[in-house]
Structure formats: C-alpha cells, structure tokens
Amino acid sequence: MKKFLIAALATTTAMTAHAGTINFDARADYDSKTYDESNLDDSNQFYFKTIRLDYQGKVNDDLAFRLRAAYNKNGTNNAGDNSQTALEFAYLTHKMSEMFSLQIGKIGSEYGAIESQTSGADLYLTSQAYTKQGLWTPTGSPAGTNSLVGHYLSTSSLLYVTGAKLIFNITPDQNLSLVVFKTPDVSAVGAITPAATNSNAMMEGLIYKGLFMDKNLRVMASYHYGTGNPTADKYNLYSAGVSYNFGGYVLAGVDYTNSGFERDLDGAKDSIYSIIGKAAYTGWEHWVPRIEIIASEEKVESNTDATLNGTNKFMGYGAVLEYKPIADSIFRYHVAYSNTTQQMADTAMADAKVDQITIGARLNADFLK
C-alpha cells in the first residue's frame, strides 16, 4: 500500500510538472456612476469585470499552446471565425528557430500599446480609443454606439483576432512581429462585428517591442492598416507607448493611440486619438497607490448628419489604491475614483461629466498549485 501511494504521488507530480498552468483570474466590483448634464441615468451595480480560465502548456520545447476563455462574455458565435465571443485566446506557437516563431489561431493584434497589453483585470480608467465609450448618445448616431459615431476601430475591438503572427526575435529583449487577420466590420453600422466571410476585408500590422536599461525601460510601437467591407473602406491605426521603472519604486508610463477610418461610400471620416498617462508607487509591501490621466479627441466628418461634424474632446482623471494582504500572491482589494468630462461638437451637450467609484477584489491563481 505504501509503495502504491508513493508511485501514485510520483505519477501525479510528474503529470503536474508537464501539464502547464491553468490560471483562474477573477475580478468582482461594485461600481457607481453619477452623471451631470448627460442623458444617461445614474447607476450602480455589482458585476464581474473579469472571470476567466487561462491554460498554457507545451507539446515540446518547440511547440506551445494557449487557451483562454472568459465567463463574463456573451457566448454567441462570431460570424467571421465561428468562435464564441467568450473565447479570447486559442493559438499554438511554433518556435521555428532561435530567431523566428509563428503563432496561429485566436491571437492578440497588439494594437493599442501598453494600455492594450495590460490585463483587463488591472485596468480602471480607460481611454476613449480603448473603450469607444463616452457619456451620452447623440441623435443620429448609428445603432450599437454609446456616444461616438462608431466607425473607428477601438483598441478593445482588436484585443483578440483570428489570424497568424510571425515573430522575429531581434535580441532576447527585442522583437518585431507581423500579424494578419480579418478586419472587424464597423463600416455599415455602428456595432462592431466580424466582416462577412465572403468579403476580402483584411488587416495587417507591424509591432515592435523592446526592453532596455536592465529591463526598466519598456517600449512598444505598432502600425496596423486594413480594408473594410466593402474593401474600399480604409483603416489606419497607430500606437506607441513607453514605461519606466524608477528605482524599483515608481512605475510610470505614457501611451499614444490613434485610430482612423475613411468610408468609400460617402467620404465620411471618423478618427480618434488618446493620450494615457499612469504612475504607481510600488515601494510598500501591501499598498500600491496609482494615479491616471487620459485625454482624447475625436474628429468627425459626416455627410449624413451634420450635427455630428466637428471635434469631440474628453478629459479624465483617476486615483486608485490597491491593498495586497497576502505576500507572494496575486490577490488584492482595490478602490478607484475617476472623473471624466466631455465636450461634444454639439454645444447643447457640452461639458457632460461622470464621477465613477469602483470597489472590488481580484484573484489570479494557478489551479495546479
């Protein structure tokens, strides 16, 4: 019996060693929003900001895979790739040589710089280029939008795409990637959906990422170009970001993200840029205070609704305090406050504001440990 238990334990340990990781990542929040000069009602809710399983493993040293599913998303199928919207990652990585790797499947487009590379469970105040959300709904805005005209591609709509990515490792700390995938379609209506399977709408992207100065300096830049549905529609997407770790105690960074759209049918244009600045003090064992600021500007040229033409401006400020009661674990409580102001081209709705308070907790842990 003793030998059997020892053998079973050894077998289980060996299986676990080769099973990879299965991470449970969940963030639950209480969220309160108070609006001023907006047609949206004040609101509060308890909800899951994040709840997902992330499995990463290896077939051998040259072939790895990843599968991540979110359980706080709608489970309907995407028309473009026949995958559920809850499926975030499903790809294999083939290490073809020391310099080149290939990813195939549902991958990240890596548009949006450092903001897009930050886990959603660690985001509080997000830019308008990321969320595509403002404070009110203008008359004549296409169905499916919240406040913006709705034709540009937001960072969040390109977080997960189905396609292929070739990664060129310049050095151990620098790489250049080429990605190709089908363009999500927002040209016909405001809502973002995968482009029809019978269209030629495609998008390509070039991404650079690097670490410098003993990995304290992080740099990322990307350019994505795509055609829409119909294919004469055009998208041009730019992003760049830099962050620096000052003495191991202060982590600060800034991002620039620009998304542009031009529709062939009537020459309409919709573009937005966002500048995001964030800083956190990490010198305390249990407490991490953060400050955040965002500035966004959207330019609209519409031939169907003249009231939308002009420039919409957004400014947001935020403060966050995280408490980590258990050392060496990804478990925390957090409280965050933000204030966002918008000034729309329609002066009748200028200076709308929202105050947001978020209180919650996050856990990220490996099931196999």
pLDDT at 143: 36
* Alpha helices, H only, the chain: 2-18, 113-117, 128-131
**Residue written as token pair 């790809």:** 91
pLDDT at 349: 61
* Contact in structure between 147 and 133 (CB atoms under 8 Å): yes
Of 79-88, 159-168, 320-329, which range is least confident?
79-88
pLDDT at 187: 46
Residue 261 tokens, joined: 């759209």
Domain residue extents for the chain: 50-316
Please indicate whether residue 159 or residue 229 has the higher confidence score (pLDDT). Answer: 159
* Rg of the chain (C-alpha set): 22
* Contact in structure between 324 and 331 (CB atoms under 8 Å): yes
**Residue written as token pair 């499995």:** 55
Number of H helices, E strands in the chain: 3, 18
**Percentage of the chain modeled with pLDDT above 70:** 81
Of 163-167, 224-228, 252-256, which range is least confident?
224-228
pLDDT digits (tens, 9 = 90+) for 162-217: 999 999 999 999 999 999 998 876 544 444 444 455 568 899 999 999 999 999 99
pLDDT at 140: 42
Average per-residue pLDDT in the chain?
Answer: 85
Of 132-146, 163-177, 256-270, 315-329, which range is least confident?
132-146
Please indicate whether residue 273 or residue 308 has the higher confidence score (pLDDT). Answer: 273
pLDDT at 268: 78
pLDDT at 83: 82
pLDDT digits (tens, 9 = 90+) for 330-341: 999 999 999 999
| C-alpha angle 150-156-162 in degrees, rounded to nearest 5 | 105
Distance (Å, whole) CA 155 – CA 43: 25
Q: Is the pLDDT of residue 312 over 80?
A: yes
- Residue 96 backbone class (left: φ over 0; alpha: ψ -120 to 50; beta: rest): alpha
Please indicate whether residue 250 or residue 368 has the higher confidence score (pLDDT). Answer: 250
Neighbouring C-beta atoms of residue 283, cutoff 10 Å: 10
Residue 278 tokens, joined: 């964030």
pLDDT at 338: 97
Neighbouring C-beta atoms of residue 120, cutoff 10 Å: 17
Domain 50-316 has CATH 1.20.58: no
Query: For 75, phi and psi rounded to 5 degrees?
Result: -95, 10
Name the most confidently modeled range: 137-146, 225-234, 235-244: 235-244
In whole angstroms, how far apart are CA 269 and each of 129, 142, 199, 259, 304? 15, 14, 21, 11, 11
Long-range contacts of 332-335 (CB under 8 A, 24+ apart): 332/288, 332/361, 332/362, 333/360, 333/361, 334/124, 334/358, 334/359, 334/360, 334/361, 334/362, 335/359
pTM given for the model: 0.87
Q: How far apart are the first and last CA of the chain?
A: 26
Distance (Å, whole) CA 220 – CA 241: 5
Distance (Å, whole) CA 251 – CA 293: 15
pLDDT at 261: 87
Of 71-75, 124-128, 280-284, 307-311, which range is least confident?
307-311
pLDDT at 188: 45
Strand partners, 43: 33
Q: Is the pLDDT of residue 59 over 60?
A: yes
Buried b (16+ CB within 10 A) or exposed e, 149-161: bbbbbbbbbbbbb
pLDDT at 18: 55
The band of 311, judged by pLDDT with boundaries at 50, 70 and 90, is confident
The band of 233, judged by pLDDT with boundaries at 50, 70 and 90, is confident
Distance (Å, whole) CA 211 – CA 117: 14
Q: Is the pLDDT of residue 358 over 80?
A: yes
Long-range contacts of 304-311 (CB under 8 A, 24+ apart): 304/140, 304/266, 304/268, 305/139, 305/140, 307/138, 307/139, 307/140, 307/345, 307/346, 308/138, 308/140, 308/141, 308/149, 308/345, 308/346, 309/345, 310/344, 310/345, 310/346, 311/345
